[in-house]
Structure 1
Amino acid sequence: MDAFGGEGLADHGFDPDETVWVRGVDYVAGWREARDAGAALVEALAAAGIDVTNLKAQAHARPDGSGEVTLKLPTATARQTTGLLRAASRWGRAS
C-alpha cells in the first residue's frame, strides 16, 4: 500500500518522473478523477454489451491539473461502440 492508501500510482500508469510539476497544482487529484472516469466508462460499455477485453482507459493529468483519459481499443470495439452511440442518439431524438 502506498501513501495514498492504494496500490502504487505507477501501477495505474502515473509516472511522476515524466511530469512537469507546478507548485500548487493538484495533479494527483486530476489523475485520480481521470482514473475513476475511465473505469466508469469501461464498466458502462461492458454493461451495454461492448467487448472491453482489449480496451484500455489510461488516466493522465493535464498541465493545469485536470484529468484526461486516453482510450486505446481495437477497431472492432470502436465500431461496436459507434453503433451503440448512434442507436442511443436516434432513440433520444425519438423520445
Structure 2
Amino acid sequence: MTGAGEEWIGDGLQDIEGMDAVLWTPGVDYIAGWRGARESADRLNRALLGVGFELSAVRAVGSTDERGRGVVRLAGRPDTVDRLAALLESAA
C-alpha cells in the first residue's frame, strides 16, 4: 500500500530519492527543511497535474541538503521535461 504522493514508486524514476545521500549531522533540523521542501514540491506537482502532466513522467521531490536546508528537485523523462521546457519558454 502506498501513501499519498507515493504512487510513483516503480515508474523508473525512483533513483532520484537518494541522489545526495549523506551522513546526518547531529543538531541539524533536517525535518523542518524537508517539510518546507515537500510543501513546495507538492504545490509544483499540483501545478504540473493541472496543465496535463503525469507524475509518473515528471515530478518535483522535496529533500534537504547536508545543512538541513530544503531542496526541491525536478525529475522526469527527457521527452516530458522537453515538453515542460517548451511550455515554460512559451510562457516567458
Q: Do Structure 1 and Structure 2 share a fold, with TM-score over 0.5? A: yes
Q: CA deviation at 1:75?
A: 1.2
Q: How many residues align?
A: 75
Distance in 1 of aligned mates of 2:82 and 2:57: 14
Q: Aligned Cα RMSD in Å?
A: 2.5
Q: Which has the larger radius of gyration?
A: 1
Report what 2:25 is aligned to: 21
Give the direction of change, closer, same or farther, for the CA distance of 1:19–1:59 in structure 2 (3 Å limit). Answer: farther
Runs (4+) of structure 1 exceeding 6 A deviation are: none
Report what 1:79 is aligned to: 82
Query: In percent, how many aligned pairs have the same letter?
Result: 29
Q: TM-score, normalised by structure 1?
A: 0.63
Q: CA deviation at 1:73?
A: 0.4
- Which structure 2 residue ranges, 5 or more long, are not aligned? 5-16
What amino acid is aligned across from residue 63 of structure 1 in structure 2?
Answer: E
Greater share of residues in helix = 1
Distance in 2 of aligned mates of 1:27 and 1:73: 25
Q: TM-score, normalised by structure 2?
A: 0.65
Distance in 2 of aligned mates of 1:18 and 1:56: 23
Q: 1:66 aligns with which of 58, 66, 69?
A: 69
